Amino acid sequence: MLAVSIMTGHAIRDAVQASEIAHERGSRVIWGGPHVTLFPQQTLRQAPVDAAYSVSLAIYPSLLKNSVMASTREFEEARVRAEQTIRNTWRDVARSYTLGWGGPIESVEQQFPFVREALMSIRHQVSRDLPVLFYQSRESPPKDMLAVVPFWKDTGNPYNCRLAAVRTLTPEEINLYNDFSQAFWFAIARKLLPSPRDAKRFHEAILNWTGRELFEI
């Protein structure tokens, strides 16, 4: 097995060459590191890898290519990480945005055309079970907005994020909203939080992990 830590830049060419040689010799290849954290899905699609291990992908079980069913211990670790992610990062989100959610995706696309454009390549993979998350600035109407859409991949991961924004996001922002959104969806899917369809119970539960600043204009 060949495990490589990847930085974004010219070093990727050497990593690709080494990975291709490893494959030719029958070895499995795993990439990790900063580049994979910033661009996990591109890495899985384009690089000569069997698996990619990133901060975002590693938080939740069964997210790697050809992974086996996650163990009880892995799910417990993921549960803790999801709650910690929400508790530890909600203030970073609230500095710029309030949080909302909605669906179905057809309604979201009709109301926000920029979301439809961002989903063209993965439209058939959008999750029907998890809500679209909206991060909006506090003006009325908001001047800045980000929609994060959950979609399935053939890896079995239902928590992939497609970000649709009205402006260009920094790598740090992409990481923040990817991580927060994945934790949010995982908490709902694993019933750590009630379904948002039960608005009262959900609002009470999420406030125990966050604060009113995340939801109030």
72-94 vs 171-189: helix crossing angle, rounded to 10 = 130
Collapsed DSSP state (helix, strand, coil) of residue 132: strand
Asked which of 27-31, 36-40, 171-175 is least confident by mean pLDDT, the reply is: 36-40
| pTM confidence score | 0.69
Residues 55-88 as b or e (16 or more Cβ within 10 Å = b): bbbbbbbbbbeeeeeeeeeebebbeebbbebbee
Instruction: Tell me whether residue 217 is exposed, middle or buried, using C-beta atoms within 10 angstroms of its C-beta: 0 to 12, 13 to 18, 19 or more.
Output: exposed
How far apart CA 163 and CA 148 sit, in angstroms, is 5
Domain 2-58, CATH number (from 3.40.309.10, 3.40.50.300, 3.40.50.280, 3.10.180.10): 3.40.50.280
Question: Residue 69 — pLDDT band, cuts 50, 70, 90?
Answer: very low
pLDDT at position 117 over 70? yes
Any idea where the domains of the chain sit in the sequence? Answer: 2-58, 72-214
pLDDT per residue over 154-189, tens digit each? Answer: 656 778 889 999 999 898 899 899 999 999 998 998
Cα Rg for the chain, rounded, in angstroms? 18
Lowest mean pLDDT across 41-55, 64-78, 107-121, 148-162 = 64-78
Q: What is the mean pLDDT of residues 6-23?
A: 81
Whole-angstrom Cα distance, residue 96 to residue 104?
25
The more confident residue out of 69 and 110 is 110
Place of tokens 């980000």: 146
- pLDDT at residue 140, rounded to an integer: 86
